[in-house]
Structure 1
Amino acid sequence: MKLLFVGTNPENTGAATHFVTLAKAMSEAGHAVEGVVSRRGLIGEGFEAAHIPIHYSAFRNVYDVRGYTTVLRRVRAFKPDWLVGNFGKEYWPLIACGRLTHTPVALFRHRTPRMSKLSEYGIPRMAQRFIAVSNYARNAYLAWGVPPELVSISYNPVDTAQFRPDPELRALVRRELGIADDAIVLGYVGRMHGGKGVTTLMRAANEAMAVNDKLHVLWVGNGIEENMLHEMAASSGYAQRHHFTGWVADTERYCNTMSFLAFPSVEPETFGRVAIEAQACAAPVLGSNIGGIPETLQDKVTGFLIEPGNVAAWRDAIISLCDPARRDAMGQAARAFAIEHFGNAAVARDFEALLNRPHHSRPHGHHAHA
């Protein structure tokens, strides 16, 4: 199968990571893949690192002639079986290019906020595949009035060769951070703002630190509440056991360092890629029972689902995973779970099957795992 991925947003987001990893997964599975990408940002860098042929261009808006010219030129030369898009500003241009060249179009939707009435009606009906990244997101689109047969599910792939247990890297990063080898490291990866539940996690972690003197917290990311978290850590009495990295691109270094991960959002998440990345590194996950997060782990097997915003419940769950026997068993199950359901090979297999099925047959994807 030939696939032309078109993603010209110069951004560093989960959607961009999804786009790169899916393209890489399809290439590894033996499909011919090319990309039309921006010269700046994660997507271009990721395609280049994966040795996927790339052609630079951009869609500043739906009328940008440069983008159309590049895509149409590549379609005529490459003759792809599918155009694959990931970003809202490219939905209508790709549909137009697909119609002009008789090439089917597969479009991913990563967000649940509503589109314009025209886009909500037209895009799922005019694209040959309209794809949600979780069952939670799919249900949101059905609530818009999109017919169920038009919305498929394809979960985010995670490169489990990149995100894997690495004891040497774990020891190296802990030394860099000044964390003892035998410490228990609770990790957080993501933006730091109110909807992410970071203050709930800070309070719960501080209460758990009072119970277990080996517990540390590793904060990876930045955001508008970062300074507040620094202040809460400084006044907690456990400042030396809170470690802040700021924003980083290579999160696999830090996922490897963690004993387990917290995903404490108090507002719905469409999915939760970081939960899969952590599990691929054999780190169990504590996740809020909200939005698409329950689809990213197996409750009581690879981690625990917890009531959003409930400090006492989060404290108790953190203390529970300080038990090494429980944590190790869950970590082994987490790695197996990530490979089976979200590894490159599994997602490439399922995405190929999704593209090959008849257009109006019943949508399918992975089942929810909560």
Structure 2
Amino acid sequence: MKDKPRILWVGTNPGGGGTETHMITLCSALADVGAEVHVFVHPQGKIAESLATSQVVLHFGIFRNSADLRGMLALGRLIQKLRPDRMVGSFSKEYWPLALLSRLHGCPLVLFRHMDLRLRPSTRWLLSRWPLRLFAISEYLRGRLIDQGIPPARVEVLMNPIQLQEFHRDEQARQSFRQELGVNDVDLLVGFVGAWHRGKGVFLLADAIDAAHAQNPRVHGLWVGGGAHEEALRARLANKPWHHVLGWKNPVMPWYSVMDVLALPSIEPDTFGRVCLEAQACGTPVLGADMGGIPESFAVDRSGLLLPTKGERGGRDTILRLVADIPLRQRLAAAGPDYAQRFDADVIARNFLAILLP
């Protein structure tokens, strides 16, 4: 064993979703707590861009699919050069190449599972039988993997990390941006951050905000993000001045302080709710759907409230409850930062190393 544990994390997907964010966050934290971290990543991807200024060492390559021989050869040469203590993978198209290379080079393999998708028979066999460590990002996802035939003893849970130093309450942003939006202190600004996709419940939330606004005009909506159903959502919100449609914002952190509550009203199961953690770290209560792994991302009835997953009436009533009960909002907001602390990336990175390299 080297003075520092040497980790090689492979993730050549160029996107910028939750799996990529998890890899970026945990790799950075592992380096910060003393590991020597190398990554094999797409040269133009979000992961490479985000890790460029970190202590993580970047190596570039691409896996176009699970049978990409060129990608396997390039990664094999890197493994021979680095001799890592552990190799880690996050994307299913790379599971089999990593499994074969780990066996060939005698490098223990760790795989993360993020998506709640039906396992192919070959993937189910790999995750059930191959010598590796398998981590799910939530208890919900662990249960789903077990339901698909993965032996319970094979699936571990590592909490989804967040870089807490990047998220904090910003009262100056709250005052200035709310003034620009024309939102008063007495108004309730319900925010959404993320993909504008039907499965995320964006249309259900829009209807709930409209129904609440019809009964109390102090209710407003704030929309940060974009995506597959952006055009339809913008059309739904057009000519409704109580909706403030911003699109993507970078950084997003100040906007959590601008809103009074963050809503994640998904109608299809999410394996976790990272935006809920980010909002709580900024002292903003959350409304999370009672579905998938979302309830694991906040303290139900302490830092947030559950949302029903069908019909806008339940969402409307919850929003109206919050606009009328300021002490409740204050209690939920005060509990958020403490809850988010348990997902601190440095703590989780140390736990991860202790599990892998006792």
TM-score normalised by L of structure 2 = 0.92
Q: CA deviation at 1:143?
A: 1.2
> Does structure 1 conserve the Cα–Cα contact (< 8 Å) formed by 2:285 and 2:332?
yes
Structure 1 residues 224, 66: closer, same or farther in 2, change over 3 A?
Answer: closer
For structure 2, the 5+ residue unaligned runs are none
Q: Secondary structure at the match of 2:101?
A: helix
User: Does the 8 Å contact 1:124/1:151 carry over to 2?
Assistant: no
Counterpart position of 1:167: 171
Q: 1:188 to 1:38 in 2, by over 3 A?
A: same
Aligned to 1:368: none
Cα shift at 1:212: 3.6
Of 217, 221, 225, 1:221 maps to 225
The equivalent of 2:276 in structure 1 is: 275
2:155 is matched with: 151
Cα offset for 1:56?
A: 0.9
**What amino acid maps onto 1:336 in structure 2?**
D
- Counterpart in 2 of 1:17? 21
User: How far 1:11 moved relative to its partner?
Assistant: 0.6
Match of 2:335 in 1: 333
Aligned pairs (5 A) from 1:163-312: 163-175=167-179, 177-180=181-184, 183-234=187-238, 239-312=240-313
Q: Which residue of 1 aligns with 2:354?
A: 353
1:178–1:344 distance in 2 versus 1, CA, 3 Å: same
CA–CA separation in structure 2 for the residues paired with 1:176 and 1:87: 41
Conserved 8 A contact 1:62-1:93: yes
1:278-304 deviation per Cα after TM superposition (whole angstroms, max 9, x unaligned): 111111110111111111111110101
How much does 1:112 deviate?
A: 1.7
Q: Give 1:88's aligned amino acid.
A: S
Q: What residue number does 2:125 align with?
A: 121
Report if aligned partners of 1:84, 1:105 keep a CA contact under 8 Å in 2.
yes
SS in 1 for 2:8: strand
1:309-347, Cα deviation, whole Å (9 max, x unpaired): 23222112112222332212211211110112x111232
Please state how far the C-alpha of 1:2 moved relative to its aligned partner.
1.6
* Separation in structure 1 between the aligned mates of residue 115 and residue 248 of structure 2, nearest angstrom: 22
Indicate the SS of the match to 2:164: coil
* Matched AA of 1:269: D
Q: Which amino acid aligns with 2:284?
A: A
Looking at structure 1, the residues matched to 122 and 20 of structure 2 have their Cα atoms a distance apart, in angstroms, of 25
Distance 2:353 2:208 in 1: 43
**Partner residue in 2 for 1:82:** 86
Across the aligned residues of Structure 1 and Structure 2, the Cα RMSD in angstroms comes to: 2.0
How far did residue 20 of structure 1 move? 0.2
Q: Report whether the alignment pairs 1:44 with 2:45.
A: no
- Report the identity percentage: 38
Show the counterpart of 2:70: 66
Q: Compute the displacement of 1:182 (Å).
A: 5.4
Report the residue type matching 1:324 in the other structure. I
**8 A Cα contact 2:114 2:137, kept in partner:** yes
Number of residue-to-residue matches in the alignment: 353
Letter aligned with residue 260 of structure 1: V
Equivalent-residue separation in structure 1 for 2:250 and 2:150 (angstroms): 36
Distance (whole Å) between structure 2 residues aligned to residue 136 and residue 210 of structure 1: 36
**Structure 1 residues 51 and 178, CA, compared in 2 at 3 Å: closer, same or farther?**
farther
CA offsets 1:218-268 (integer angstroms, 9 cap, x no match): 111223433333333336xxx222111223453223223221100111111
How many angstroms apart in 1 are the aligned matches of 2:34 and 2:309?
42
Please tell me whether residue 102 in structure 1 is matched to residue 106 in structure 2: yes
- Distance in structure 2 (CA, Å) of the matches to 1:212 and 1:121: 55
Q: 2: CA distance between counterparts of 1:37 and 1:181?
A: 45
**Counterpart residue type for residue 262 of structure 1:** A
Say whether the 8 Å CA contact 1:261–1:275 is kept in structure 2.
yes
Q: State whether residues 167 and 282 of structure 2, in contact with CA within 8 Å, keep that contact through their aligned partners in structure 1.
A: yes
Superposition deviation, residue 352 in structure 1 = 2.2
Name the structure 2 match of 1:318. 319
Tell me how far apart the structure 2 counterparts of residues 62 and 35 of structure 1 sit (CA, whole Å).
18
Q: Which amino acid aligns with 2:86?
A: W
Q: For the residues of structure 2 that align with 1:173 and 1:261, how far apart are their CA atoms? A: 16
- Name the CA distance, whole Å, in 1 between partners of 2:160 and 2:293: 12
- What amino acid sits opposite 1:240 in the alignment? P
Give the drift of 1:177.
Answer: 4.1
- Over residues 160-191 of structure 1, what are the superposed CA-to-partner deviations in whole Å (9 max), with x where a residue is unaligned? 11022122233344355454455432111122
Structure 2 contact 31–55 (Cα < 8 Å) conserved? no
**Residue 119 of structure 2 contacts residue 148 of structure 2 at CA under 8 Å; is this kept in 1?**
no
- Greater alpha carbon shift after TM alignment, 326-335 vs 169-178: 169-178
